[in-house]
Every structure is written in C-alpha cells, then in structure tokens.
Structure 1
Amino acid sequence: MMIETNRLALRPYNTGDFDAYLDMVSDPNVVRFLGGQPMPEEDAWNRLLRYAGHWALFDFGMFAVFDRFTGRFIGETGVADFHRGLGQNFDGVGEAAWVFTSESQGRGYAYEAAMAALRWYSSSANRQRTVCLIAPDNQPSLILAAKLGYVPFGNVVYRGGPLVTLERTLLD
C-alpha cells in the first residue's frame, strides 16, 4: 500500500523505519503535546509494532510519511482504532492522527499527508466519519484539524490532561 501526493509518499511502517521514528518521538518539541516527554526506545518500538498490527488486523492504520524527492522520513499520519475508552461517540470510529518532525513543520506537509490519508480511508474503508483528539493548547494542530474539516464536539480528560474531541463527516 502506497499513497503518493505531489511532494510526499505515504506507506505503512516497517521495522526499518524505527531509527527515524525514534528520532522524531525523542524530540521534545515534537512531543510537547503528546505526553510532554521524549518517548523511551522500548515504547517507540512497541508503538511501531502496534501500527503494524493495525494494518494486519484492520487493513488501515498509520502511515510513515516521506519526502518523495529526498526519501527522508518526515512524520506520520493516518486513521486507527486506538480504543481509548472515551465513549460511543469516539471509540469505534476511525481516529485520525498526525505527528511530524520539527524540521518538516510549517511547510504544509501535515495537511497534504493527512488529507491524502483521510481520502484513502474514506474510500477504502467506506467510512464517512472520523474523530481526533487534540490538546487545547496545541494551536497548530487545532488549526490543521479545522483546515481538514474537523469541528469540536466535546472535551475529555485523558491520561490526566484536558483534550478536545473533534469530528469530520463527509456528506455525499
């Protein structure tokens, strides 16, 4: 499975992506809204394996995102079932997510990649509604979510922090 845009290539993770993934989730600037602490190597490895499991069990999941021209890893996006226990309006619905390296932020890559992943998910999984979960202080991500068509529908406390729940529904 590969998705290409004008500038990007998206594909499911493989174990060869681990070092680049670990570098991204070890960057304090990247994880400031994702728990606030660099991810330990073991947790990063387990997350990469979880992503592979999504693809194996559901035929959708998180994509590793690469610059098409340099081949450099720049982040991730996709839709997954993270089974967070946040209720029927959230759980069981595809949850969109995106995380990009510090160096790639501010260049429109996240929008380009997330939109491609959402279009693919909507057509391949035949699902029209997705949700996402964003820290209220994460203005860049909230702006991106709005640009992607997400609107807030609630607030939750998850893992000790307040988060905004958002949804995107495609209408025929």
Structure 2
Amino acid sequence: MTTLRSPRVMMRPHGLQDLRDLSEMWVIPQVVEHISGAPLSSDEVWAKLMFHIGHWQALGFGYWAVLDATTGHYLGMVGFAVRPRNTEPTLPDSVEAGWVLHPKVQSKGIAFEAMQLAYAWADEHQNWDKTHCLISPENLASLKLAARLGFQPFQEVRYRGGPSMVLERVCAP
C-alpha cells in the first residue's frame, strides 16, 4: 500500500486499526457540522471505514489516514473516492477529492500539506483529467482550502436537502 510522508505528516491507507480514531472523530460537532450534520453511529463509522479500505482494494486509490509524523497520532483523512451521490443536478463524472481533519489541527496547514502529497501521488500514479469536490457553501474554511489547491467553482447542486458547491480541479498533464 502507498505511504506518503512530509516533515509534519505520514499518510497511509486506512486499516482496521483506525476504527477507534474514526469513531471518536465522527462525533465531534465541528467535524460533522458541514458533512453529515449529525454524529455518525458506530455502524455508519464502520461502513465509512469499509468504504475507505475497499477503495484501495478495488480501485487502487482512496483516502489516506493522516498521522502526525512525530507522534503517530491520528489527525484525520484526505484522499480521493468514486462517490455516486444523489445530487440535483448530478455531479460531474470524475473522481471526488476530500479532506476531514480533527479540529485540533485545523487552520494549521495540515490539510493543505496532506492534499499536496495526495495530488503529487495522483499526478504520478493516476491518469485523471480532473477531480471535483463537494462542499457546503457555509464551510468557508474548506472552500478556502479548495481554492488554495487550485479548485474552481463548477456548479451549484442540491445534496441531502441543502445547497452544495461543486468545485473542479484540472490535474497535471
């Protein structure tokens, strides 16, 4: 499996050892506010973990667990997925990028650093023309990060009863 490193983070595909950290993270109000709107149940966290593990097994890419490079503590997740979401209108036919970091490390550049590693890996190992992300228009921090990563507004959609922004990023040739 693919492990990536920078001075501050180490990233590896999710494994069963991440269940506890995911369970703790997905009940934090600041984490779920703009994503699910409510804490995830234990079976929802389990399904999310299986989704991440399965992506790597079936597609050769997915989300990485982001760990502190020094302590090994779980900081969150970043990566790529194929997500057939029920949006109106439908999402573009491309891989979806995403990031979710623990509040204790938000606004410290960790997500940007981790996504730069992820995109460097994708540019070398995948043949994607573009990726997209789906962000609540109220999630200003995530929209700011998307802009720093080179995403451009693409379209507005309705997802889970509310508005969402679809942003698009052209990948390196």
TM-score tier, shorter chain, comes to over 0.9
The one-letter code matched in structure 2 to 1:44 is V
> Pairwise mapping of residues 14-25 of structure 1 onto structure 2 (< 5 A)?
14-25=15-26
Name the counterpart of 1:103: 104
Larger mean Cα displacement after TM superposition, 14-23 or 82-91: 82-91
Give the TM-score normalised by the residue count of structure 2.
0.94
The one-letter code matched in structure 1 to 2:39 is P
RMSD between aligned residues: 1.3
Is the contact made by 2:157 and 2:164 (CA closer than 8 Å) also made in structure 1? yes
> Pairwise mapping of residues 23-42 of structure 1 onto structure 2 (< 5 A)?
23-42=24-43
Deviations 1:115-151 (A, max 9, x none): 1112212221121310000000100000000000000
> Pairwise mapping of residues 10-159 of structure 1 onto structure 2 (< 5 A)?
10-86=11-87, 90-91=92-93, 93-159=94-160
For the residues of structure 2 that align with 1:89 and 1:33, how far apart are their CA atoms?
18
Where does structure 2 lack aligned partners over 5 or more consecutive residues? none
* Secondary structure, counterpart of 1:60 in structure 2: coil
Is the contact made by 2:86 and 2:159 (CA closer than 8 Å) also made in structure 1? no
For the residues of structure 2 that align with 1:161 and 1:77, how far apart are their CA atoms?
24
Is the contact made by 1:54 and 1:80 (CA closer than 8 Å) also made in structure 2? yes
Over 3 Å counting, the alpha-carbon distance change for 1:137 and 1:72 in structure 2 is same
The one-letter code matched in structure 1 to 2:161 is G
Task: Tell me the CA shift for residue 88 of structure 1.
Answer: 6.9
For the residues of structure 1 that align with 2:71 and 2:140, how far apart are their CA atoms?
29
Q: Which runs of 4+ in 1 moved over 6 A?
A: none
Give the TM-score normalised by the residue count of structure 1.
0.95
For the residues of structure 2 that align with 1:107 and 1:89, how far apart are their CA atoms?
30
* Secondary structure, counterpart of 1:17 in structure 2: helix
The one-letter code matched in structure 1 to 2:75 is I
For the residues of structure 2 that align with 1:99 and 1:171, how far apart are their CA atoms?
24
Percent of aligned positions that are identical: 37
* Secondary structure, counterpart of 1:77 in structure 2: strand
* Secondary structure, counterpart of 1:37 in structure 2: coil
Is the contact made by 1:79 and 1:118 (CA closer than 8 Å) also made in structure 2? no
For the residues of structure 1 that align with 2:84 and 2:126, how far apart are their CA atoms?
18
For the residues of structure 2 that align with 1:85 and 1:160, how far apart are their CA atoms?
10
Is the contact made by 1:150 and 1:166 (CA closer than 8 Å) also made in structure 2? yes
Where does structure 1 lack aligned partners over 5 or more consecutive residues? none
